[in-house]
Structure 1
């Protein structure tokens, strides 16, 4: 057998050797042709790249020279010279190659200076030297040469302009003439540049087609010849293979041939592939050990056992016999694998039956028909402390009682005798006398006559589960921070109190408590400290109510108190006064003394509502009235309060509709450069064109929008509208002024703020220098730790930031050092008293001095009198804004105001007289 196998393999090698040599030749030919085509394509890519750089440099040079002619800017001239250097490098290299005698390295350096792809430079030199007259190439080079004199003329214009600007002799007429000559040169060069680009691109496409067809034809011819040879050789191999395979696959056992040196499967019969779930010889090449489960990897020797693992996850116990053979120079082991699944299944069943009790996590008791213990598992001993010997012969129900303390009822055993099983909770006694709750399940094992032979009891300790259930029930009805009743529990107890009051004909009152300015605590300290303050508040509320009253927290800094068994609703005023007095006392948390106050609304049953929902809502309305009018007080509910609440809800609905119907408008208030009187910036101010109430200022709807979370959508609308307006102004030739936009704290702190800002700038093609974000100190304070990150992100976009209302809130000097902050806006409250108010004068002068030392620019707002203007001008303020110059204007009016025209030394805008 070994000799026959050796002869077969030697014959196979002799047949396949010519085929392999022919295949290597075909592959080598195709690779060589492909490599040659790739090199030519790289050269063409270099031409295309060089053409693109040359064309862009020419066009950009014209643009830069136009800018220089108009403005005389040195940077524009430098950019022009740099682009002309690219053109000169290309031109010199071209002429050097055309001369036929050139320094190859010098030409390569010239092309590198012209930004040509380095890998394509040698190919470009070769083609320009030897194929300059090729199709498309000759026309492209002719178009290139035709632009030389014109480009030289453009360079002479640049020299003339440079000398004129250097001598100060530039006149508008000279600039106009130069720009016309530059434009005329560009009109001559541009079509020839396009001709050059088109010819190069067409030539690249033509050569690419030729190369592709050449490689394709060569590959097809070589492949056909190789396939013809392979067909003859493989036909002979196939005949001998089929005979061997027929014998090999007909075996009922699995047969696997394994390389003895590396353990890889060389071949497997059909039975092996069927058992393992492999098809079409996919077992070949796999490790023999890999077809067995990891815990069972036997050696292919006589009597070895293992577990064969199929691809679908099935396992098949097997037994193996192995023998060594030789295939050529390779040692091969032949493994014959037999299925022993039935034998292993019987053994497994016996083992499972023996280990079932020991492995189960729950306690298990097996008792006879008289309920006397026969055996227990290890978990029983662990849970109860009773081992099998301590309970043998005793009834297992002796140590168990029902939750009420009584014995297990006889009905359980009657039910079990009737063919059912029983499950329930019992109290079980441990060996040490302690008791724990237990979930017990009892089943009966019967004989053929359905008589009970044994009882099987399975139990588990449910003490932890019951504690968890109680904890969940508590959490479902109580606020996790303060331990007070949550909204659902408070409303449920309120309904119960209303029902009891209806029967007893008494009154019930709901107090709605809201802490005044609690947000300042979170903003000034931390939310963690704010949470501890809320816990202190909850404790004080709990001390002020009686045992049958209920206190709850329904969200944030809002608390509720339910007072029942009242004679009249007005009796709740005593409790309200005590609560106000208690809550106004200082609260000490972490060495911080915090003084708060509260506003309380009171609604009572039956006067103010017949259900819990109405009472809570009306108490909320009364609280809002107390907070709006005075704070640190209480108010009883009246119907007019609900009308105010409905008005707020109507405003909410109208705000949402305003966003959909595009009812918002922008007004632009100019900002003057005090030293020159020029309008250098505007501030975008939001107005609401209400369809019924007319134009509404922000103070009437912004607080509501902030409370509803609509402020982000409004801010986004303002930002995008401002960007669109800047773009429109640029199109009509408006001066390039800055536009300041106010940003709310909520939008500023949103993770998508910076990304949305950058997207708007890109979409409307607005330069970041045209936009200034006005951010109040309060908004920056709310950013907290994210302040520096946000400012750095804005600085990276090129956006400048102005600190608005500086000095009116929590002022942090650290904000003035952030990278994006470049403007300081002096609040109108300090400007109003100028120049008579000594305190205002001192404050403003200090701000201006600080801004100058920090390199910040300053804007004063609220300037209404000439004396204020003069003072700020002398004090060194950069810009001013106010009614002295102009009221906020629509975009069209601002366009008329700023339409380019000669300006006086200082522009003073006179506002219309107020009626």
Structure 2
């Protein structure tokens, strides 16, 4: 290869010489054009310099002559004459050149006298002689010539003034007249002088562009000609090499040219580079033996030898190598042809693996002849059936197998396999000891080259355990994994079957929808593990109350369903529903906890309440919701009105999401009065929803929906922001400062950002913490769990007081009354309503008032509507009260008028507002 390269150097250099000559010519042309452009630019620079001198001389002539006319000083006259001579020298040179017949040296001397740059004088003469009629130059010379007479008039004026000042006979009037003539001549000359300067400058720019375009065009043409010549020469050179490389690189085998003397690689084809994963330039120079895993020692020329070709990724390729010695010019070269034998090796390996796999495969394998007589079996078949290959030899493979129902294998199986298909199915196989087991059997055929069937191959698997697992999976897919009850899909299937039977036999089918009351409190108070065990016990109690044919299901969370088929009437389900309510309300012992629950049950029946399973379940769900909403620990039969209520709740949920964005909420404030004096000491902020179509929606209607949707926190935050904004507005209006109570939901009170949110709101409105009181129900405090004391301590540190609302209606832990920040105890309206006539309400109320007094808590009674209730609470020691007896909830402006009846004068202190008496 190297010898060949050396021999090719001389002819290659000769073929490339025209390219070198052409390149030298292109460079020389560009240099020549650049020199010409430079000379033209020098001439233009000189011409511009002469134009600048002429313009300055023209201006100075006018200035000096006017100064001489005004003062008569000899210095001004001398300056005038000096500049006038410059003008005359330029004019004479111009006119001489214009004649076309001039003395070059005289003209050059005249330009030197006009102070033109010496190096530019040849360019100036050249431009005036050859380009007098060129664009811009023609306009410049015309403007220049148009001033000749005016310049001559200036010289006449100068002579007249010189005579006058010399004789002393010049008058002021004559001086004024001459200056006017000078000014008029200057007015004529000055715009033409500017036109001359502008034309010269534009001409210089134009000539520069022309020169640039000319040089660029000439260079481009020369370069294109050179590139065309280079392309033709290189194409002819490349043709020979490409023909060789095409044959070399297109070979399917790897070809490596090796120097016989050094053993180093001289050249490789594309296939060799691809198989080794290295570029050709990386392989050239490396030793040939480095390409293989095994040593090349002992390989003879012309003999094929197997080896493994190395790749850069660490993998090897099985190859067969054959070498031959050749002379490459004067250089001995060994040509190695490397053939990939991966497919051949893989086939041999596959045959070996197939033989080993047949012997070691976990499935049983039987090979039978065309008459279905057993030829051989593998070890797995012996292990599965107990039959050895020798004991089955010559017997038909279907002698020990039958269909699952005991019938022999039909002829259709063998006809299908003979037709070229593969048969698979379940059969019952007999072991050597006489026992049987379910077996998955697959039968296929092996054919010869002419397509005739030669052997049957049967693959068999014991599926006893798989079928057991399948039954378990099917049971799990149809049943709740926690309680073992039917899941929703399975329950609906049972419902559909029961409805089909009831339709034929004209019977009724009833579906019960059971929901546990307050199950979430169990999860929150104990743990989800306790909750799961509780659900298991509930499922067991439901099962015990059912008769044969009834079906119980769990369709999610704490929601259970019961199917009661074959009833005469829907109302016949009352007995079992009552039993279920009773058994579910009994205490449940879960681990060491005794838990008491109740349930709400909805009842829907076919055909009255629906004609399919989904409708019955949905209607029973609606009836359950009605029972939970109205009473709890009760049941309700479905009525169409229940679905209307459900749809209304769904619509309300949709509109509630939009209400915050549309700012449809507003606040009203219910005063809290001091019972002893009747003075308003606080107000409670109450949220109202002004629906754009329905009008005002009561909190009792939308607050439960907001809690279910998780929107209650956002509503609480809005109420907090709006309340603090209203307090700030009242302060700015001069309303006496009063305490404002805000109700806090359990969801927001238990949120980690609750305390920080309240603190930031107060700081943003610059309000004191004492202006705000938080009302928190016992259930909200219970939900917070162990964090309640830390939260209360933080509120106490911030100076925010807390009132426990609805005390006595729930868990009623006395420990809550001792928590930091708790300063108020609100007596629920359920206790106030029966006062003073109900002895139980009176006793409970007096006990709470006494307890609060001993703990130093301020008591506030809710729902006071009669004078008797007011008097009883006052006598019993209650400090504050709220209710319609004193005031309905008021708008902010009404509260302001109530507290400040004489505005604009701002009252110095709160006034006494006597309670309204009915």
Structure 1 position 446, deviation (Å):
0.5
Map 1:860-871 onto structure 2 (within 5 A). Answer: 860=860, 862=862
Structure 1 position 490, deviation (Å):
2.9
Structure 1 position 422, deviation (Å):
0.7
Of the candidates 905, 909, 913, which is equivalent to residue 910 of structure 1?
913
Contact 1:758 1:797 in 2 (8 A): no
Cα gap change, 1:282/1:448 in structure 2, threshold over 3 Å: closer, same or farther? closer
Cα-to-partner distance string for 1:677-699 (whole Å, 9 max, x where unaligned)? 99998754321113455434422
| Paired position in structure 2 for 1:827 | 826
Contact 1:676 1:907 in 2 (8 A): no
Q: Distance in 1 between matches of 2:433 and 2:899?
A: 96
Q: Distance in 2 between matches of 1:282 and 1:798?
A: 77
| Paired position in structure 2 for 1:532 | 533
Cα-to-partner distance string for 1:440-481 (whole Å, 9 max, x where unaligned)? 221111012222222222233434443343333323433333
| Paired position in structure 1 for 2:696 | 695
| Paired position in structure 2 for 1:573 | 574
| Paired position in structure 2 for 1:96 | none
| SS of corresponding position for 1:560 | strand
Map 1:425-436 onto structure 2 (within 5 A). Answer: 425-430=426-431, 434-436=435-437
| SS of corresponding position for 1:542 | helix
Contact 1:621 1:642 in 2 (8 A): yes
Map 1:809-824 onto structure 2 (within 5 A). Answer: 809-811=810-812, 822-824=821-823
Structure 1 position 574, deviation (Å):
3.3
Task: Give the TM-score of the pair, scaled to structure 1.
Answer: 0.54
Higher mean C-alpha displacement, 523-532 vs 415-424:
523-532
Map 1:790-809 onto structure 2 (within 5 A). Answer: 802=802, 804-805=804-805, 807-808=807-808, 809=810
Contact 1:885 1:908 in 2 (8 A): no
| Paired position in structure 2 for 1:551 | 552
| Paired position in structure 2 for 1:664 | 665
Contact 1:777 1:803 in 2 (8 A): no
Cα gap change, 1:580/1:669 in structure 2, threshold over 3 Å: closer, same or farther? closer
Cα gap change, 1:407/1:552 in structure 2, threshold over 3 Å: closer, same or farther? same
Map 1:701-780 onto structure 2 (within 5 A). Answer: 701-715=702-716, 717-718=718-719, 721=722, 741-747=742-748, 754=753, 761=760, 765=764, 774-780=775-781
Cα gap change, 1:274/1:768 in structure 2, threshold over 3 Å: closer, same or farther? farther
Q: Distance in 1 between matches of 2:680 and 2:268?
A: 90
| Paired position in structure 1 for 2:421 | 420
Contact 1:587 1:594 in 2 (8 A): yes
Gaps of 5+ in 2: 1-244, 260-266, 285-289, 299-305, 323-335
Cα gap change, 1:675/1:640 in structure 2, threshold over 3 Å: closer, same or farther? closer
Q: Distance in 2 between matches of 1:909 and 1:528?
A: 57
| SS of corresponding position for 2:426 | strand
Cα-to-partner distance string for 1:584-624 (whole Å, 9 max, x where unaligned)? 44443335444444444444333444443444444444444
Q: Distance in 2 between matches of 1:893 and 1:567?
A: 63
| Paired position in structure 2 for 1:170 | none
Q: Distance in 2 between matches of 1:871 and 1:740?
A: 25
Contact 1:677 1:906 in 2 (8 A): no
| Paired position in structure 2 for 1:275 | 275
Cα-to-partner distance string for 1:491-542 (whole Å, 9 max, x where unaligned)? 3333333332232233333334444444454455444334334333333333
| Paired position in structure 2 for 1:781 | 782
Contact 2:584 2:599 in 1 (8 A): yes
Contact 1:884 1:909 in 2 (8 A): no
| Paired position in structure 2 for 1:365 | 366
Q: Distance in 1 between matches of 2:311 and 2:765?
A: 66
Cα-to-partner distance string for 1:658-703 (whole Å, 9 max, x where unaligned)? 3454322233567899999999987543211134554344223212
Map 1:324-335 onto structure 2 (within 5 A). Answer: none
Cα gap change, 1:298/1:574 in structure 2, threshold over 3 Å: closer, same or farther? same
Cα gap change, 1:402/1:730 in structure 2, threshold over 3 Å: closer, same or farther? farther
Root mean square deviation of aligned Cα: 5.7
Contact 1:368 1:454 in 2 (8 A): yes
Q: Distance in 2 between matches of 1:444 and 1:730?
A: 98
- How many residues of Structure 1 are paired with residues of Structure 2 in the alignment? 622
| Paired position in structure 2 for 1:316 | 317
Map 1:146-185 onto structure 2 (within 5 A). Answer: none
| SS of corresponding position for 1:403 | coil
Q: Distance in 1 between matches of 2:469 and 2:742?
A: 53
Contact 1:275 1:310 in 2 (8 A): no
Cα gap change, 1:253/1:694 in structure 2, threshold over 3 Å: closer, same or farther? same
Cα-to-partner distance string for 1:692-720 (whole Å, 9 max, x where unaligned)? 55434422321233234443453454456
Cα gap change, 1:416/1:609 in structure 2, threshold over 3 Å: closer, same or farther? closer
Cα gap change, 1:346/1:418 in structure 2, threshold over 3 Å: closer, same or farther? closer
Structure 1 position 353, deviation (Å):
3.5
Q: Distance in 2 between matches of 1:255 and 1:893?
A: 108
Higher mean C-alpha displacement, 726-735 vs 430-439:
726-735
Q: Distance in 2 between matches of 1:371 and 1:531?
A: 58
Matched, 1:490 2:491: yes
Cα gap change, 1:436/1:895 in structure 2, threshold over 3 Å: closer, same or farther? farther
| SS of corresponding position for 1:458 | strand
Q: Distance in 2 between matches of 1:572 and 1:863?
A: 41
Task: Give the TM-score of the pair, scaled to structure 2.
Answer: 0.54
Cα gap change, 1:841/1:411 in structure 2, threshold over 3 Å: closer, same or farther? same
Cα-to-partner distance string for 1:782-813 (whole Å, 9 max, x where unaligned)? 34577689889x88997968463274333557
| SS of corresponding position for 1:701 | helix
Q: Distance in 1 between matches of 2:411 and 2:717?
A: 75
| Paired position in structure 2 for 1:408 | 409
Q: Distance in 2 between matches of 1:785 and 1:282?
A: 73
